[in-house]
Structure 1
Amino acid sequence: MSQVSVSVHALRGLTAALFRSQGLTALRAASVADSLVCADLEGVASHGVALVPLYLERISKGSVDPHAEPLVVEDHGGLVVMSAQNALGQVSAAVAVELAAARAREHGVSVVSVRHAFHFGTASYWARQFAAAGMVGFAFSNTRPLMPAPGGAERVVGNNPMAIAIPARVDEPLVVDMAMSATAMGKIRLAEANGEAIPTGWATDAAGRATTSATEAIQGMLLPAAGPKGFGLAVAIDLLCGALSDGAVGAAVRPLYGELDKPYDCSHAFIAIDAARLHGGAGIAPQVAGFAQAIRDSRRAPGTERIYAPGDLERARRAGNGEHCPIAGELAQRLNQFAADAGIPERVAA
């Protein structure tokens, strides 16, 4: 599938316009668009504007409510439970992150969990917002079951992404963003769309046999990253999101690409630590920056040109793309067609 390079400004504008046409406010539509375009700029196309068709279809079929107002259902100061009310995940995540940061400033540490939620893009997009405020930020989500227990042949837990952002230099936090599977399902769906095989070790077929077929993997199971370690972390994240929020856990989370008229109903969790207040107000950024630089300066193995600290590679991709964003040409055409169907003038050069 050929790629095209489109204007970042035009892509954000078109994406936001599509969501405004579905009833989102201008501010919320811009937030959704920014999270998706940022993923593409950082090389995470599985969480970028390729999700727009799914989001729009779920809105049209009623499983995502573009007018929903996320609300607090339990408030214990530094521990809060919210209901997303089946809003787009970026809408409820923006509310939760703002609330978590405010409560961390008050209490030092805060936890905000969210039930009745939807896909929120990359977890790092939200964790970085805490780091920009001088806080250590965590963002988690559970997903429908995609992975078996070690030795199992049945999906029992999602690959449940986690991101941690730790403030360092301005605009250069140390960022860890990972799903608990060997790869994300979105990458396998992209491989299927492109007619590509997937690497051994990513997934099994429905019977639990290793496969390099993207189609068989989608019908089968993802494999946990690092075997039982990734599986254990996935279980913990599932409960951190679902049990804390009294939301869906395990099989109660529905398939993202399944029955699109039924809510996805995942759960999220956000943790903020107000590290800026520590050490007489000096915070932790200088120590974090020093450690990150030590990683970059560490001795390289033969054939390695550069060593990246966590978060560097995504920043390098974003900087390398500049004001242009690579997306699939077919996707650009599809977005333009959505715009034409909605009667809005915004377009990208396809």
Structure 2
Amino acid sequence: MAHVTGEQLKSFAVKVFESLGIPATDAETTAEILVQADLRGIDSHGVARLPIYVKRLKLGLINKRPDIKVVRDRPGAAVVDGDNGLGQVVGHRAMTLCLEKARQHGVAVVGVKNSNHFGIGAYYAMMALKEDMIGMVGTNTSPLMAPFGGKQPLLGTNPLAIAIPAGSQRPVVLDMATSLVPRGKIEIAARKGEKIPVGWAIDKDGRPTQEPEEALKGTLLPMGGPKGYGLALVLDILCGVLSGAAFGAHTGSLFGDLDRPQNIGHFMLALDVNSFRPLSEFKNTMDSLILSIKNSEPAEGFKELFLPGEIEYTKTEERAQKGIDLNPVVAQNLLNLARDLGLVGGEATVDTLFA
């Protein structure tokens, strides 16, 4: 198992993107967001995604040098056309615009069309924390989940991320898919040769399965049954229908549709706390709320209560200090990728890849 630092991973990812003709700034942005996923413990959305990004870039399905434009502009709202660029580049640009508008007007919403898979939503929501704002980000995804009661994948896992600042306590950061689990967890189980719990997914015939390979051929299930389905549908409307991006079954698959762009849509909101109450008061109240939960008595079988994002903060601190253990399959895929791109010679090994 390869043991690497975040900086080593980021440097590797930057080299990969630049070797394909991605501008240095865009390569840096994309690499940073991928590695932040690995640092937070969201391994399914980190450098493990590099091979499929490279494949789509080489096929011309992602624009290496997009002309990202604001196509509709209002004081507190805008629509951004990502020109089929890397989702991280488009998402970062759109959230930056959203924060600029929120600084001027107290609250802002930005819709995005013609984008691609943009990694972890938490990254963009957490951009608001540096401005002492609340950030909310959603995205639609390729259809991987059946509506409640169905078996045909018509909706994406359509994740939602919300970041809320606090005072002395850590910010609250909710980052969740609207499926019971994200597809990435099933992919990880498949790589490890492990079974998945009943209730995560159904096979192509609509039957419950514990086999990750069968689940990947079938469809994920929404969290909370009809509630998760309803939330996924609303996010698809906000991200896809409202912005003019693809929606539902029309959204391109990251892995499956290797003949067309994804046309993913994003929805971004930034809210300036000072527009509602003094920031110091808000942060003090947030601390009180957080501590009331942290200091409450755990139920039987639990040792501690956690706030959304708290485990990821701890994981980030741990991995930033101790490094990251790459899954052997991911490490080998990255080695193969580096060889294919001519970044290393045939004699290179996983152990020497990040040296």
TM-score (norm 1): 0.94
Contact residue 169 and residue 290 of structure 2 kept, 8 A = no
1:339 aligns to what?
338
Structure 1 counterpart of 2:99: 101
What is the alpha-carbon distance in structure 2 between the residues aligned to residue 28 and residue 330 of structure 1? 27
Q: Distance in 1 between matches of 2:168 and 2:270?
A: 18
Q: Tell me the equivalent position of 1:325.
A: 324
Matches within 5 A, 1:1-350: 3-169=1-167, 172-282=170-280, 284-323=282-321, 324-344=323-343, 348-349=353-354
Closer, same or farther: CA 275–336 of 1 in aligned 2, 3 Å: same
C-alpha distance in 2, partners of 1:206/1:239?
A: 26
**Distance (whole Å) between structure 2 residues aligned to residue 173 and residue 197 of structure 1:** 34
Partner deviation per Cα, 1:99-156 (whole Å, 9 max, x = no partner): 0000011111111010111011010111011122111101100012222222222222
Aligned-residue offset at 1:342: 3.1
Q: 8 Å contact 2:9–2:354 — kept in the other structure?
A: no
Counterpart residue identity of residue 275, structure 1: V
* Whole-Å separation in 2 of the counterparts to 1:328 and 1:19: 21
Counterpart-to-counterpart distance in 1, 2:150 and 2:335: 44
State whether residues 145 and 253 of structure 1, in contact with CA within 8 Å, keep that contact through their aligned partners in structure 2.
Answer: yes
Unaligned runs of 5+ in 2: none
**Contact 1:41-1:326 at 8 Å conserved across structures:** no
Distance 1:306 1:73 in 2: 48
Q: Tell me how far apart the structure 1 counterparts of residues 293 and 316 of structure 2 sit (CA, whole Å).
A: 21
- The CA distance in 2 between the partners of 1:219 and 1:105, in whole Å, is 45
Kindly tell me the number of residue pairs found equivalent between the two proteins: 348
Shift of residue 319, structure 1, vs aligned partner: 1.2
Deviation, structure 1 residue 283:
5.8
| Secondary structure at 1:309 match in 2 | coil
User: Is the CA contact (8 Å cut-off) linking 1:96 and 1:112 kept in structure 2?
Assistant: yes
2:171 counterpart SS class: strand
* Distance of aligned partners of 1:188 and 1:43 in 2 relative to their CA distance in 1, 3 Å threshold: same
Q: Is the 8 A contact 1:7 1:348 kept in 2?
A: no
Q: CA deviation at 1:170?
A: 6.8
Amino acid at match of 2:294: R
SS in 1 for 2:174: strand
Equivalent residue of 1:169, what SS? coil
* % same residue: 38
1:281: how far off?
A: 4.8
Q: CA deviation at 1:85?
A: 0.7
Bigger shift: residues 156-165 or 322-331: 322-331
Q: What is the root-mean-square deviation of aligned Cα atoms in Å?
A: 1.9
Q: Is the 8 A contact 1:141 1:162 kept in 2?
A: yes
Code of the aligned partner of 1:67: R
Structure 2 CA distance, aligned partners of 1:124 and 1:280?
A: 25
- Compared CA separation, residues 206 and 341, structure 1 to 2 (3 A): closer
Distance 1:138 1:63 in 2: 28
CA positional deviation for 1:28: 1.6
Which 10-residue stretch deviates more, 246-255 or 319-328?
A: 319-328
Partners of 1:62 and 1:261 within 8 A in 2: no
C-alpha distance in 2 between matches for 1:333 and 1:34:
21
Distance in 1, Cα, partners of 2:291 & 2:49: 35
Aligned AA (1:246): G
What's the offset of the Cα at 1:214?
0.8
Checking the alignment, whether the CA contact within 8 Å between 1:277 and 1:283 is kept in structure 2 is no
Q: Deviations over 1:203-245 (max 9, x none)?
A: 0011211111111111111110000000000000000011221
Q: Does structure 2 retain, via aligned residues, the 8 Å contact 1:276–1:283?
A: no
Taking structure 2 as the reference length, the TM-score comes to: 0.93
Counterpart amino acid of residue 104 in structure 1:
A
Query: Secondary structure at 1:210's aligned position in 2?
Result: coil
* Unmatched runs of 5 consecutive residues or more in structure 1: none
1:79, 1:65 → 2: CA distance? 25
